[in-house]
Structure 1
Amino acid sequence: MNILQALFFPPEQPGGVSSMIPYIQERFLKLGWQMELFSLPKRVRNKGHEEVIFQTFDHTEFRGNPLVDKYIQTYKDYIWWTKLRIQKSYDIIHAHHPIAALAMKRVFPNTPLVMTIHSSYARELILNGKIEEGGPEHRFLNLLYRELEVTTDKLMTVSESFRSYIAPYVETPERIKVIPNGFDEKRFKPIAHENEVTQLITVCRLVPAKGIDVLLYACAELKRRGSPFVLHIIGDGPIREELELLAQELGLYDDIIFYGYMLHPEEFMPFFDVFVLPSRAEAFGSVFAEAALCWLALVGTNVGGIAEQIEDGVNGLLVPTEDPLALADALEKVVGDPSYRYNLARTAWDTAKKTYSLQRVISQLKKAYVAVKSEPRPTPEIE
C-alpha cells in the first residue's frame, strides 16, 4: 500500500507530530509499505488563488478577520503547492492538520483520507492571549471540526479527553478513533546517575499555555522552604524575556538555566531527575511520555492527555492548574525523597514502554488503513 503522510510543519520541526512521523515512516518502509511525507514550506506564501468553499458552513461571514483570512490563504497555498509538487496517486492520504486534510481532499477527492487531530489551535490561541473565547476566530476554528467530519473517511485523535473536547462540534464523536502517540524506544537511553542537587527539567515552547510562570512561582516557594534544586528550561518562544525577568524578580537567577531551542532534548533529559510542566491545556503532551522513557519522575497538571498518562502517586504526580503552592508541594515530595522519586520514575518508564511504544501505533495504523481502504467508495455522480 502506498501512503502519503500530509503534514503542515516540515518533518524537521522539533516536537509533537512532525518529529514523530519520520519514525512511523521508517517502520512502515521496513514492513514493505510505501510511505512518503509532504508539507508546506514556510517560503510558500500568497501563491494560491482558488476559491474556497466549505460544505458545512459559509466562511465568508468571517471575511476581513485577519486570523481567518490568513488561515484561508494558507489553505489556498497548500492546494497550490500540492498541485505543483504531487504528480502521482496514493492508496491512502493521512493528514495531520486541518489545512492539509482539506487541501488533499480538494486535490484528490477520490483518495481515501484519514485525519488525525492532534490539538486545538483555538484553545492554544486563547490560552496565549491571542484571541477571545467565543470570538469570531474561536467560532471559525471550531466549525472546522464538523467540516473535517464530513470531508474525511476516518477521523482520529490522540486522547480520550481530546475526543471529548471535540464532541460538541461534530455529529458522531463516537466514531472518532483514539490512537495515542507512540515513540521509538531506540531514541531514549536512560542513564544511571546521581546528582548532588535535584535537577528539574522542562521542555516546551515558551508561551502562556505551558504555565511556566506558574512553575517559576512554585520554584520560588520551593526555595523559600529550603529545598535545593536547579531548574533547566529547554525551549524558546515569545515570552522568554518575560520569564527571565520574572525569574530574576523571584530571586531564582542562580537556580534556573534557560537553554533556548534544542533539536533533540531527549538526548539531554536522561541526566536529570524530574520532568515538570504545568500546562494549562494539553491534547496529549508527548513530552511527558518522552521524559518517562528517559526514566524521569513526572510532575504535571491534571488536564487533557497529561491526566491520561499519569496516575497520581503511581507513575507521577498531578496538580491543579494555576496553583503554584500545590505544584511546590509536589516538587517538594520528589526533591526531598530520592527513593520515592526513583519509584515514580521506574513505574513511569514501565508504563510508557508498554503504552506508548511505536510498535503499538504501527499496528493500530495498519488496521485503520486497511479498514479505510476496504470500505466501498461512493460512485461519482454523472451529470
Structure 2
Amino acid sequence: MNNETKQSAKTILFTHYGDNWIRGSERCLLDLITHLDKQQFNAVLWCNQPLMAEEAKALNIEVYCSDFPLLLGWTAPRFDLFAFAGLIKQATQLIKNHNISLIHANSAAPCQWLTFAAKKNKIPLICHMHTSYQLRDRLTLGLYQTDMVVGVSDYVVAPLRKDNKPDTQINVISNGIDTQRLLAQPVVSLRESLGINAGDFVIASVGSLIARKGFDLLIEAVALLIEKEISVHLLLIGSGPEYGNLKVQSKKRGIQQHISFLGECENPVGLLRGNADIFVSTAREEAFGLVLAEASLAGLAVVAPDTGGVRDVVIDQQTGTLVATENVDAVVGAIEHLYFQPRLCFEMGKAGQQHVLNNFTIEQNTHKFQSLYHQQLSTATHKQAWYKSVALRWDLITSYCSALKNFYQNSTKKGLIHER
C-alpha cells in the first residue's frame, strides 16, 4: 500500500482481552484484520497476551501488548484504580499517536476503560461479544456506554435487549471462517497410525478441554455406544485443564483404546476430512459454535446441543441433528441413527458445507463489519455530551443499584468488605 492510500484510510484500534492461545475469538479477529480492505482501513492491535501479539505482528500491523487488570474483575487485583487510570491514559495516547477513528473491542472486558477514552476523544466504540455476560459484568464492563454492541448470535445480545439497550446500538454479525485457508489444509489420514479398525465409525470433536465443552458427556456416550456393540472411535482435538480427568474417565469406563487424544492441531479441518465420519459436540453452552462451522465445511454431519447460537450454525435434520443439552442418551441416539444411515450422514455433510459457504465465510463477515464501521463513522452519536451517554433509562439504573447491592452483600459475606 502506498503512503497516499495509507493516509486516506481510517485507522481502527482493535483490542483483545483473552488467554494466551489462538482459538475461537482470537482466530476470528486475526482473520478479520487479514481481510480488511486496506484502502479503506488500517489496523492497530492492543492486546494482553504475547501469543496474540506475535500472530498479529506477522500480519505487518502495529501491535501493543500490556496487562489488562479489571476493576471488580474475575482475577486479582480487583481494585487497582491506578492501573485502571493508566489504561485510560494509554488508550488515549494510542488514539492520539495513530489518529484512531474507531475502536473495535474484540471482547467486553476492555470496554471498561475504552468507554472513557472513546468519549473523551469523540470516537465510536464497538464491542464485539463472543459470549454472553451476566448483569454484574454488563454493568461493570460498561456495555451500556458503548456506541454499538455486536454479538456473534442473537443469544449473545439477548440480555442487552432485555435490559432495553436501544436496538439502534445492537447488531448481530455471525462469525466467519477463512474457507479457502481451511480447505487448503492437507488431508491427513491417521487411522492406521492410531490403530483404528477399518470398520470403526470415527467420531471427532474439537475444542478446549474445559468443563463447559462437555467432553465428559461425549466420553460417556462413546461408552454407551460400545455397550450397544457399535464399533466407534473418538478423536478429541484440543488441550486444556480437563485432560487428566478425561483420561481417567475413559480408563474407568474401560474404553481408552477407543479414544485418541490428539492435543492442539494446526490443521483441524484437514484431520476431520481425512479421518472422521461424523462430528459431535456435547458443549454445555455455546455462543456460536465456530468448530461446528469448520466441521460442516469439512463435509461432516454434525450432532450438537440445542443451546445458545448453535441453531444458527446447524440446521436440525438438514445439516445435522440437534439434541437436548447434557442429555447423553439423546447424543447416543443421534449418533446411532446416523451410524445406520450412511447416506443420510453424507447428505447432511454436503448440505452443511453449502450452508457454511452461503452464510459463514470470512469475506461475508468482513463486509458486514466494514459496512458497520462506515455507518458508525458517519453518525454523530459518539459526539454527544458525556452526560447524555450515561443517562441510562430508569430500569437500567434500578438494575445497576440492585447489582451493586447484591455485590456488596456477597462481598460482605465473603469478608471482602467489612461493615463498620
TM-score category of the 2 structures, normalised to the smaller one:
0.7 to 0.9
Structure-1 residue corresponding to 2:180: 186
Shift of residue 372 of structure 1?
0.5
Partner amino acid, structure 2, of 1:14: I
CA distance in 1, matches of 2:248, 2:164: 43
Q: What does 1:273-312 correspond to in 2, within 5 Å?
A: 273-312=277-316
Q: Deviation at 1:321?
A: 1.1
Q: Which residue does the alignment assign to 1:252? A: 255
State how many pairs are aligned. Answer: 348
Q: Displacement, 1:149? A: 1.9
Residue by residue, what CA displacement relative to the aligned partner does 1:84-113 show, whole Å, maximum 9, x if unpaired? 767322111111122222333333432211
Q: Structure 1's 117 and 144: CA in aligned 2 closer, same or farther, altered over 3 A?
A: farther
- In the alignment, the residues of structure 2 paired with residue 228 and residue 76 of structure 1 have an alpha-carbon distance, to the nearest angstrom, of 59
Q: Classify 1:192/1:343 alpha carbon distance in 2 versus 1 (closer, same or farther; 3 Å).
A: farther
CA contact (8 A) 2:151 2:157 kept: yes
Match of 1:9 among 11, 18, 21: 18
Distance in 2 (CA, whole Å) between partners of 1:107 and 1:353 is 38
Residues 78, 100 of structure 1: 8 Å contact kept: no
In structure 2, C-alpha distance between the alignment counterparts of 1:278 and 1:76, rounded to whole Å: 42
1:22 and 1:158 mapped to 2: Cα distance? 16
Partner of 2:153: 159
1:367/1:84 CA distance change after superposition, 3 Å: closer
Q: 2:123 aligns with which of 111, 120, 125?
A: 111
Which runs of structure 2 are paired with 1:169-184 in the superposition (5 Å)? 169-172=163-166, 175-184=169-178
On the 8 A contact 1:299/1:331 being kept in 2, the answer is yes
Other-structure match for 2:143: 148
Choose which of 200, 206, 230 in structure 2 pairs with 1:197.
200
Moved more, 26-35 or 359-368: 26-35
CA distance in 1, matches of 2:105, 2:114: 8
What is the alpha-carbon distance in structure 1 between the residues aligned to residue 37 and residue 312 of structure 2?
Answer: 31
Distance 2:250 2:215 in 1: 10
Give the Cα separation in 2 of the matches to 1:192 and 1:236. Answer: 20
Measure, in 2, the Cα distance between the counterparts of 1:266 and 1:76: 43
Partner of 1:225: 228
What's the counterpart of residue 59 of structure 2? none
Q: Give the deviation of 1:139 after TM superposition.
A: 5.2
Matches within 5 A, 1:303-382: 303-376=307-380, 377-378=382-383
**Do the aligned partners of residues 380 and 77 (structure 1) sit closer, same or farther apart at CA in structure 2, a change above 3 Å counting?**
closer
C-alpha distance in 2 between matches for 1:324 and 1:77? 49
Q: Alpha-carbon deviations, 1:145-173, whole Å to 9, x = none?
A: 7x3122x1111101112222443345335
| 1:37 is aligned to 2:32 | no
Moved more, 74-83 or 273-282: 74-83
Question: Contact 2:103/2:125 (CA < 8 Å) preserved in 1?
Answer: yes
Contact 1:207 1:239 in 2 (8 A): yes
**Percent identity of the aligned residues?**
22
Amino acid paired to 1:378 = K
- Tell me which structure has the larger Cα radius of gyration: 2
Counterpart for residue 269 of structure 1? 272
Give the AA of the match of 2:126: V
The letter for the 2-side match of 1:9 is G
Aligned-partner SS, 2:100? coil
Q: Is contact 1:197–1:229 with CA below 8 Å preserved after alignment?
A: yes
Change (3 A) 1:341 1:379: closer
Distance in 2 between the 1:357 and 1:220 partners?
A: 36
Deviation at 1:334, TM superposition (A): 2.1
Give the AA of the match of 1:26. Answer: T
What's the CA shift string for 1:203-226, capped at 9, x where partnerless? Answer: 111111111111111111111111
How far apart, CA to CA, are the structure 2 residues paired with 1:236 and 1:173? 38
Are 1:215 and 1:278, in contact at CA under 8 Å, matched by a contact in 2? yes
Q: Distance in 2 between matches of 1:276 and 1:162?
A: 22
The Cα shift of 1:199 comes to 1.5
Structure 1: which 5+ runs fail to align? 53-58, 123-137
Which residue of the partner structure matches residue 25 of structure 1? 33
Contact 1:40 1:81 in 2 (8 A): no
Closer/same/farther in 2, CA of residues 269 and 26 from structure 1, 3 Å limit: same
Q: TM-score, normalising length from structure 1?
A: 0.81
Distance, in Å, in 2 between the alignment partners of 1:283 and 1:370 is: 26
